[in-house]
Amino acid sequence: MSSLPFIDEHAVEVNAPASAAWRALAETTEASFGGGPLKEIGAKILGCRETSTAGRADVAGSTVPGFRVERVDAPTEMLLGGRHRFARYALRFRVDPESRGSSKVLAETRADFPGVHGRAYRALVLGTRAHRVIVRRILGSVKARAERITA
């Protein structure tokens, strides 16, 4: 992951302990990235290595369309990586305990977009802010799930 250029980092404060945030992160990763015909078709069209769901999101070696779970250091870190015709990318989630039973969930993206087609894809994904919207939606889902777990 460190060999890929930094793209961005987003974070959300969660009013739940880190253990609940971790569980919510695993569930949200499966729900957000997990199978389904449209996600699998999209991954195939892009030429992703991983085009289907196999295993659980909190287990290294598992896959969801577009990503392989590269590393899991439960309950603090999950690294997803992938590649397709236009990019190589990694998405690292980190769960940090905060004071008074709350936690923070961070999402760091790194990616490389080689060639002219890669630059066009970068403009489509990053230039339109679609990536930012999707990552923030995922973090919002993690927050909501974690806070429901502890309610």
The helix (H) or strand (E) run that includes residue 108 is strand 103-112
Per-residue pLDDT tens listing for the chain (151 residues): 679 999 999 999 999 999 999 999 999 998 888 878 999 999 999 999 999 999 998 999 999 999 999 999 999 999 999 999 999 999 999 999 998 899 999 999 999 999 999 999 999 999 999 999 999 999 999 999 999 998 6
Domains and CATH numbers, the chain: 6-149 (3.30.530.20)
How many other CB atoms are there within 10 angstroms of residue 56's CB atom? Answer: 15
The helix (H) or strand (E) run that includes residue 27 is helix 18-33
Whole-number Cα distances in Å, 145 to 48, 91, 98, 149 = 29, 20, 18, 6
Calpha distance 151→9 (Å, rounded): 28
